[in-house]
Structure 1
Amino acid sequence: KNMQKETVDSLGNQKKTNYALNQKDKESFIKAVTDGLLPPPAYFGMNVAMNKKGYDSFDEVLSKGLQAFSPDEFEEMAEHSGALILDVRNNEDFAKGFVPQSINIGLNGDFAPWVGSLVVDVKQPILLITNENEEEETVTRLSRVGFDNVLGFLKGSFNAWKDSGKEIDSINRISAQQFEQEIKEKEAKIIDVRKESEYNAEHIDEAFNKPLAYINEWISLIDPTEHFYLHCAGGYRSMMAASILQARGYRNFSEIEGGFSAISQTGIPVSDFVCQSKILK
C-alpha cells in the first residue's frame, strides 16, 4: 500500500503532508497503513516453495511460452492439456467476443497480482490470448510471480479464432444509462465486486458487496435462476468476475460498463450507509 505517490521528498515536508506519518502512535500508524489491505494471495506460499526448491530458467520458460498455435492447434491443445485459457486483452474488447471458457485478466491493470489471486496454482498450464506483439511481455510478467507453465499463445490473437469460424462467446455488458432505466422498471439484485473499503465509502443503495478477491468463496452461493447486475469501479475487475462466472456456467447477469464511476454520473441513488447483511461474511 502506497503511503504517498512521491518518491523523493524532505522528511520535514513528509511529516506535514503524509497521512502515514501523521499518526499519534504506533497502533494508529499500523491501522492507517494496513486499512483495506487484503490477506496475502494464496500463491505466495507456492512462490516460497519455488524459491527453496528452484525453478526453470527464464529462457526455457520464455521459449515454451512463445510457441504460436493456429486456431486448430490452440483448440486441440486446450482440450488435451487441461490448460486455462487466459485472455489478457482489455475488458472492452473481451466483452465483445472471446474464446469460450476464457478468463479475462487485462494486461493493462494489476495483471500479475490478480492472476496470483484468482488462478492461485503456479503449476496450472496456461494458454494465452494477447494483443499481437504482447506475448513476450505477458509471459515475462507471469513468470515474475511464479507462473512458468505457459504452453503458448493463439497466433493472430482473437481475430484469427473468429475468422476461422469457430464458436465465440460474449458478455452481456450494458451502459450505466441502460442499467438506470432497467432498475427503474423492476426490482434488481446488484453485486459490487470492489474491495470492502471502496464499498464502505460509497455504493449503490441495496447493492451487495462481494469482492472479486473472494469470488471462489461466494460464487457457489449465486442462484443461477436469478438475474443480477455486476459492477466494480471502472470495469476491469467486473469483467474478470464476469468471465469467471460465465466459464462456470452462470449467464444470468448483466455487467455494467464503466462501473461505479459511470453509475455515479446517473441518477441512481448511492449511499455510505453499510448494512451488514449486504457484506460478504
Structure 2
Amino acid sequence: MLVFERVYTDGLAQLSYMVGDSKAAVAAVIDPRRDTDVYLRMARERGLRIAYVIETHIHADFVSGAQALARQTGAELIGGRSDAYEFELRQVSGGETFELGQVRLQVMHSPGHTPEHISLLLFDSQQGDQPFALFTGDTLFNLDVGRPDLLGDGSERKMAAKLFDTLMNGYLPLGERVEMYPCHGAGSACGKSIGDRQHSTLGNELLFNPALREQRSEEEFVDWLLKDMPEPPRHYARLKKTNTKRANMDGPALPPPLSPQAFQEIAGQDGVQIVDIRSILAFGGGHVPGAINIALRNEFINWAGWMLSAERPILLIGESDEDVQQAIMQLYRIGVDDVRGYLRNGMTDWQNAALPLAQIGEWTVHELNARRAEADVQVLDVRSPGEVANGRVPGARHIFVAHLAEHLDKLDRDKITVTYCGSGYRASIAASILKREGFQKVANTPGSWMAWNAAGLPVQKD
C-alpha cells in the first residue's frame, strides 16, 4: 500500500517527502531538512525501513539533513551527478529507478535551477504503468519556476535555457494529469513569487503558471525569467558550499540562560551579535544597546540568514524560553550554530538590574506624512528595489535593508531618520542597525507601506 507523507517546514517554506510501500515496509525520503527526528519518528510509527535518502539538488536555502539521515538509518544516499560533492553518495542519471515494493521512483535529469538537479517520477503498480506524480525539487513550483542564478558564476542565461528545455521537453510531455510536488511553497526565495499551493498538477500549471501558460521561444523565456530577478539572500552562497561538504552531525545547541550581568559581559566581547527576537513594538519600547531586532515571525529565518554572520557568536533575547528555543532551531536549519546563550527572563531581568536601555521611536503613517518634509527629518525606504519601483513615500531615499550597514555614509546622522518597509518588519531591522551604529534619533513606522496605502496617503512613482 502506498505511503505518501509530506513534511512542511515553516519559515523555510520547505517541503520534504517520505514515499514507500507499507506492505513491503520500505520507504525513501526526499530532500530532508537538517533536524531529521521527524523522519525517524514517521518511519518508527509506520514500521518502515528508510532504504534511500534522495537529494534533488545541492540546496542553497537550508542545511540538508540527507547525510545525517542516511547515517542514522543505513539508507543509501542518492544525488545528481556533480563534481562539487565532497562526500560519498551514489550519483545517478536519468532513467535509473528505485524499487519500493509496489512503488517505484524513476530519476529524470532536470537541469536549470542547478546543473545536477534531478526530479523523481512516482509510479504505483496498482495505478497503471504510467507515473502519477512528479517530485520537482526546485525546478517547478505552483505559479513559478526555480531561479537559475544561484551558481553566482555568470551562467544564469545558460541555466535558464536548460530550465526551458527541462520544462518543455521533460515535464510537459508527461501529461496534464500528473501531480506535482515541489521542494518549496510561498515565502521561499528560490523562486520569484511562488504560489500558495503546496502541490499542484502539470495541467493546473499550464493554465495558471506564467512560465508555462504563455507561448515563448527559448530566448524569450530566458529574457522573461531573468528580468527583475531579485537579489538572492546573502546566506544562499554559504549554504550552497556547506551542502557540498561532509556534514556536521551535531544537533542544535542548548545554550544557557544568562543573568543580565553575564549577558552584558559576553555582549561586550568582540564580534558578538545580539539578536532581539521580540516584536517590533516591544523592541522599540526598550532593548539592550547594540541589539538587532529580527522578530520571531515567519520571516525570521530568511532575514536572520540575510543579516547575521554564521562565523560570529550570537546572544538571543526573547519574550519566553519557548521563543528562544524556536529561534535556535530556526538558526540551526540555516547553519547559524554558535548561539552562546540567551537573556534569562528576557528584558524583565535586564531592566530590574538597572542596566542601560536603548529605545527607538515609533511613528504612525499619519505622523510620517505630516513631518516628512521637515528639514530635520530624513525618510528611509528599506524595501527591495523591485518594491520601490512600484511607488514610495514622496521624498524618501532608498537603501535596501540588507545593504544598509555598508551605506551609512549616505545618511545625515544629525537628522531624525524614519524607516519604513512593507509592514514595519524590515524597517525595525534597519532602525536597530542605525541605533547600533550610533544614530541617535531613529524611528520606525509600524504598518509601513501597507498602512500608508490603507490611509490613502500620497505616492511618488519614479
Q: Report the TM range for the smaller structure's normalisation.
A: 0.7 to 0.9
1:173 CA drift (Å) = 1.2
Distance 1:155 1:34, change over 3 A: farther
Where does residue 43 of structure 1 map in the other structure?
A: 235
User: In the alignment, which of 174, 197, 213 is matched to residue 363 of structure 2?
Assistant: 174
Partner of 2:379: 190
- What is the distance in 1 between the residues matched to 2:423 and 2:298? 11
| Distance change >3 Å, CA 191–CA 27, structure 1 → 2 | farther
1:52-77 deviation digits (Å, cap 9, x = unpaired): 55564433x423xx311111111112
> What's the secondary structure of 1:254's corresponding residue?
strand
Instruction: Give the structure 2 partner of residue 23 of structure 1.
Output: 214
Offset of 1:187 from its aligned partner? 7.7
CA 1:185/1:75 → structure 2, altered by over 3 Å: closer, same or farther?
A: closer
Q: Do 1:36 and 1:195's aligned partners in 2 also have CA atoms closer than 8 Å? A: no
Is contact 1:62-1:136 (8 Å) kept?
no
CA distance in 1, matches of 2:196, 2:360: 35
For 1:38, the aligned partner's letter is P
Q: TM-score, normalised by structure 1?
A: 0.85
Q: How many residues align?
A: 269
TM-score, L = length of structure 2 = 0.54
Could you tell me whether the CA contact under 8 Å between 1:21 and 1:29 is conserved in 2?
no
Report the Cα offset of residue 49 of structure 1: 4.6
Moved more, 22-31 or 213-222: 22-31
Match of 1:4 in 2: 195
Distance verdict in 2 for CA 1:163–1:222, change over 3 Å: same
1:58 matched residue in structure 2: 250
CA 24–3 in structure 1, closer or farther in 2 if over 3 Å, else same: farther
Q: Does structure 1 residue 73 correspond to structure 2 residue 262?
A: yes
1:108 alignment counterpart: 297
Q: Deviation string for 1:83-131 (max 9, x for gaps)? A: 1111111212111111110011112032222222222x31210001122
SS of the residue aligned with 2:302?
helix
The residue number in structure 2 matching 1:124 is: 312
Give CA-to-partner distance per residue, 1:19-49, whole Å, 9 cap, x none: 2223332344445555544333443343345
Q: Contact 2:280–2:293 (CA<8 Å) still a contact in 1?
A: yes
Q: Which residue of 1 aligns with 2:409?
A: 220
SS for the counterpart of 1:170 is coil
Change (3 A) 1:70 1:241: same
Find the structure with the greater CA-based Rg.
2
Say whether the 8 Å CA contact 2:376–2:415 is kept in structure 1. Answer: no
- The answer to whether the 8 Å contact 2:435/2:442 transfers is no
Per-residue deviation, 1:172: 1.2
What's the counterpart of residue 246 of structure 1?
435
Cα deviation digits, residues 234-265 of structure 1 (max 9, x gap)? 10000000001110001233322210111223
Determine helix, strand or coil for the equivalent of 2:278: coil
Unaligned runs of 5+ in 1: 275-281
Q: Deviations over 1:162-204 (max 9, x none)?
A: 2222111110111111122223666853221111111111222
The alignment partner of 2:275 has SS state of strand
Counterparts of 1:148-163 in structure 2 under 5 Å? 148-163=337-352
**Distance in 2 (alpha carbons) for counterparts of 1:51 and 1:177:** 47
**In 2 relative to 1, CA 219–184 (structure 1 residues): closer, same or farther, beyond 3 Å?**
closer
CA distance in 2, matches of 1:34, 1:68: 46
Contact 2:420-2:448 at 8 Å conserved across structures: yes
Moved more, 223-232 or 146-155: 223-232
Is the 2:253–2:338 Cα contact (8 Å) retained in structure 1?
Answer: no
**Mapped partners of 1:216, 1:176: distance in 2:** 25
Distance 2:375 2:414 in 1: 16
- Closer/same/farther in 2, CA of residues 58 and 88 from structure 1, 3 Å limit: farther
Paired position in structure 1 for 2:121: none
CA distance in 2, matches of 1:192, 1:213: 12
Does the alignment pair 1:255 with 2:444?
yes
Correspondence 1:89 to 2:281? no
> In structure 2, what is the Cα distance between the partners aligned to 1:35 and 1:90?
35
Measure, in 2, the Cα distance between the counterparts of 1:151 and 1:56: 18
Q: 1:23 to 1:58 in 2, by over 3 A?
A: farther
CA distance in 1, matches of 2:223, 2:448: 29
Q: Which of 317, 320, 334 pairs up with 1:145?
A: 334
Cα deviation for residue 152 of structure 1 reads 1.0
RMSD: 2.4
Farther-moved stretch of structure 1 (89-98 vs 185-194): 185-194
